[in-house]
Structure 1
Amino acid sequence: MDIAADCEHRMEPVLVTPSQPTPAHTLCLSNLDDQCLLRFSVEYLFVFAGHVDVDALRTALSRVLVDYYPLAGRLGPGDDGKHVVDCNAEGALFGEGFLPGLTADEFLQGSAIAKPHESWRKLLRGAEPQSFLGVPPLVVQVTRLGCGGTVLCAAISHCLCDGIGAAQFLHAWARAARFEAADHHVAPFHDRWVLRPRCPPCIAFEHQEYAMNSFPSGDERAATSSLFTGPLAPVSLTFTGAHVQRLKDRCAPWLEECTSFEALAAHVWRAWVRSLGPPSDLRVKLLFTVDIRRRVKPGLPEGYYGNGFVLACAESTAGQLAAPSGEHHAARLVRAAKEMIDDDYVRSTVDLLELRRDAMPDLSASLVISAWTRKGLEDLDIGAGRPLHVGPLTSETYCLFLPVVDDPRGVTALVSVPEAPAERLEDRCLHGLDDVENEEQ
């Protein structure tokens, strides 16, 4: 549904520069920042029922860019072939839009519970796909709705911030918009050398997240290729807190103190495989992000907003996942992959990216999960109260775990799959989970 197709742009976006002079220097990126996987902008979308003073929000952005001045700079190539940030205070791109014929409720209802649509691109001018270095590190647009509500979109270069870092910046901007004192809040830590490679680099692990899958035969390779390619359809699956608890209970006999993420990641991975129906002997992977801020020694400095994560990798045959015992089998694999991430593994990853600048994760038969939960995005208040919805601007090829407003234990999984198995995925994921709610009524 083209709910954003009528978005009006009555003026060109403007550059918002820091309100005070900022350091003029070159910021070197870490190997985790500069890896090929992250050469894009993460596009966030927030829907608010309340009105926002756009001029005040723009002024607040100017103030917060004094602290987060690299986001007002520009990415470019460095002398050693790695990308750097020219901290030149050129500014972030700030645009305005108008959707006078639409309310916040109509926006959410008309988009099938805020399922991304290509027309949403009009809600963020200036971040359109082009050369990676051609997009400013920070692009925002504030769109006013007919009901007085607001849509805020922000595209933040993944080379500069991971999800935790982006949330840290967005909350700092929100505090400035509310004129809240920042004295007791953590200042951003800019230096990326805390994740520099060792000399000489040493790759001490196999790093299956970057290894290519092996297929039993050429025929099966061709058959599998058809399963994982083609037009993608976004599937939005909302798991209530009761759903998540039921998944944890299912794993409890085989996995002590199973976490919500382990249970849900295993469940979605298994449903994804069963809906696609690959050959039973095909090895499939689950890749997911693991925060390393407290896993490295010493821990990353407080306020570090660069990329402080690595990918964990769980691997199995499709047949093992599809089997009746596949749920706890998958959960154990997720736990083992997560526990493997320690200081040695992180340093080995950094060194691998030093020696293999073009390294990319194996996505041939892989589900990639990035969790936006537990980052406080659902509490972002830019002067209009808490958002009604938090999610991505567009549907990506990876799976996002999103917070559910007003259900702190709930999770919405947004998964993009080929169109044919999309309905099967929804059935596989949600079948039987409502029984727990019926029992409680």
Structure 2
Amino acid sequence: MLTPAEYELPDCHLLESPSLIVPISPTPNHTLRLSNLDDQKFLRFSIKYLYLYQQSVPAETLKHHLSRVLVDYYPLAGRLREDPGYERKLMVDCNGKGAVFAEAFMDATVGEFLESSDRPNKSWRKLLYRVDSDSFLGVPPLVVQVTNLRCGGMILCTAICHCLCDGIGTSQFLRAWAHSTTTTTEIPVLPSPSHPRHVFQSRSPPHPTSPTPAYTRTNPNHHPRLPAFLQSHHPLVPVSATFTAPDLLLLKKRCCPSSSLKFTSFEALAAHTWLSWVRSLSPPPHLKVKLLFSINVRGRIPSSPPDAGFYGNAFVLACAQAAARDLTDSIGLGDAARLVQRAKDAVDEEYVRSVVDLLEDESAGTDMGASLVITQWARLGLEEVDFGRGRPLHMGPLSSDIYCVFLPVAGDARAVRVLVSVPAFCAGKFKSYMSDYSIITGDGDGNGNVIDDG
């Protein structure tokens, strides 16, 4: 019997050739230069969301309202290209060429998909139209596929260029599109999108002054996809674990059973996931292992904050780190949570400015050598995208990789689902650690008494 992760979806049949959806009215025709935060090498991909709905929405309705919302979000209808004045830097030609929209049918039901929705598998890729291109630059910033199901349900997949939007920005765009389909009012429920990226320009001359351990200067032609201790013949398999509100409360209590320190749900869950990941992989004892996680900086640069509707990349990576031997032997959950909390607190305006300045150097980038990267989708409102036929029954990524994603849980706003791919040899151990909090608690007292916090 096949496990859910091995379940093969039926063939997906396109109903007609994909079309280009252009803005319904004229939009500005200009070039948008991306900021250093937009133009990071590790963001040169599309964020691929998958939504499952009980009832379908007519494709023509979705197309019409997409053309309406693209008037405001017109860079998503443009095309990426390299800036001729700056080698390897990207810009967007806001030319209104349009977003790709495909419509398909699959002989499956909502219930059948839900049975296999815990962990993505390779067959899910057929749910998103693949644009043939020799490079990332040849793919339009927005690609959509709507797949109608035998039962009358619908799967909506979107690929949104990460260089143009962060998670908050993609959620803002998707909710604006959904809102357009459900109301005739012109009164916006979301702030109007703000396109300029000048708030994240580097200083002249660039002068990083704050330590930024998540970033390093490397050979610009070297982009390792896996940490060294993950580079083996073992295939990666997705592992998923769901934490309800009581689970998260228990984690927070275990972080500091005899201390007055307080931790957020994110800090506790990030620490727990980091420890589970390291202990299941058993990296070399002296290796310094990092936990990188995104921090929204919209409210952390008081001297020149972005506009309310800013939807570009406005995050930097915070970094907690410790020697592998400490994470496996002596650091408890409370101490790991304290490392996460310290990393968050270190992200102030000077940290942000230093990251932007550092990234002006083409040899600078994210240090992925021995790092778990966590991205937060669970508190962005992504699960609220309702095109008029009800909220999604499932929301998540189209695929799973070594980036760890904290996901919303449909129908439970307080729960979080953790999804990450790990080598097959340690998947069972990782799942066990994630499920059994007592294994990870350790002897830490939550006061940050660690051997090596970098």
What is the TM-score normalised by the length of structure 1?
A: 0.92
Residue of structure 1 aligned with 2:95, choices 52, 64, 88: 88
Instruction: Give the Cα–Cα distance (whole angstroms) in 1 for the partners of residues 243 and 260 of structure 2.
Output: 21
Over the residues paired in the alignment, what is the CA RMSD in angstroms?
1.8
Equivalent residue for 2:245?
241
**Residues 270 and 155 (structure 1 numbering): CA distance in 2 closer, same or farther, change over 3 Å?**
same
8 Å CA contact 2:23, 2:98 repeated in 1: yes
Does 127-136 or 34-43 show the bigger shift? 127-136
Amino acid paired to 1:167: S
Amino acid paired to 1:257: K
Deviations along 1:355-410, one digit per CA (max 9) or x if unpaired, are x2242212121100001011111111012201011100011220000001122221
How far is the alpha carbon of 1:415 from its aligned partner? 0.9
Deviations along 1:284-307, one digit per CA (max 9) or x if unpaired, are 000000000000123211000000
**Residues 244 and 45 (structure 1 numbering): CA distance in 2 closer, same or farther, change over 3 Å?**
same
The reply to whether residue 13 of structure 1 matches residue 13 of structure 2 is no
**Residues 432 and 263 (structure 1 numbering): CA distance in 2 closer, same or farther, change over 3 Å?**
closer
**Residues 135 and 2 (structure 1 numbering): CA distance in 2 closer, same or farther, change over 3 Å?**
farther
Does 123-132 or 283-292 show the bigger shift? 123-132
Equivalent residue for 1:162?
166
8 Å CA contact 2:216, 2:364 repeated in 1: no
How far is the alpha carbon of 1:229 from its aligned partner? 4.2
Residue of structure 2 aligned with 1:25, choices 21, 30, 42: 30
* 5+ residue gaps, structure 1: 214-223, 434-441
What is the TM-score normalised by the length of structure 2?
A: 0.89
Residue of structure 1 aligned with 2:281, choices 273, 276, 279: 276
**Residues 226 and 346 (structure 1 numbering): CA distance in 2 closer, same or farther, change over 3 Å?**
closer
1:33-432 equivalent positions in 2, closer than 5 A = 33-81=38-86, 82-99=89-106, 101-109=107-115, 111=116, 113-127=117-131, 130-185=134-189, 186-211=191-216, 225-230=228-233, 231-252=235-256, 253-254=258-259, 256-297=261-302, 298-323=304-329, 325-354=331-360, 356-432=361-437
8 Å CA contact 1:241, 1:408 repeated in 2: no
DSSP 3-state at the match of 2:126: helix
Deviations along 1:204-231, one digit per CA (max 9) or x if unpaired, are 1232112389xxxxxxxxxx83445442
**Residues 325 and 359 (structure 1 numbering): CA distance in 2 closer, same or farther, change over 3 Å?**
closer
DSSP 3-state at the match of 1:147: coil
Does 304-313 or 380-389 show the bigger shift? 380-389
Instruction: Give the Cα–Cα distance (whole angstroms) in 2 for the partners of residues 54 and 255 of structure 1.
Output: 54
How far is the alpha carbon of 1:7 from its aligned partner? 1.0
Instruction: Give the Cα–Cα distance (whole angstroms) in 2 for the partners of residues 255 and 268 of structure 1.
Output: 23
Instruction: Give the Cα–Cα distance (whole angstroms) in 2 for the partners of residues 79 and 20 of structure 1.
Output: 30
8 Å CA contact 2:199, 2:305 repeated in 1: no
8 Å CA contact 1:35, 1:358 repeated in 2: no
Amino acid paired to 1:114: D
**Residues 316 and 187 (structure 1 numbering): CA distance in 2 closer, same or farther, change over 3 Å?**
same
**Residues 421 and 90 (structure 1 numbering): CA distance in 2 closer, same or farther, change over 3 Å?**
same
How far is the alpha carbon of 1:115 from its aligned partner? 1.1
* 5+ residue gaps, structure 2: 1-5, 219-226, 439-454
Aligned residues, how many? Answer: 420
Equivalent residue for 2:444?
none
Q: Percent identity?
A: 51
8 Å CA contact 2:229, 2:283 repeated in 1: no
**Residues 154 and 46 (structure 1 numbering): CA distance in 2 closer, same or farther, change over 3 Å?**
same
Amino acid paired to 2:374: I
Instruction: Give the Cα–Cα distance (whole angstroms) in 2 for the partners of residues 272 and 302 of structure 1.
Output: 36
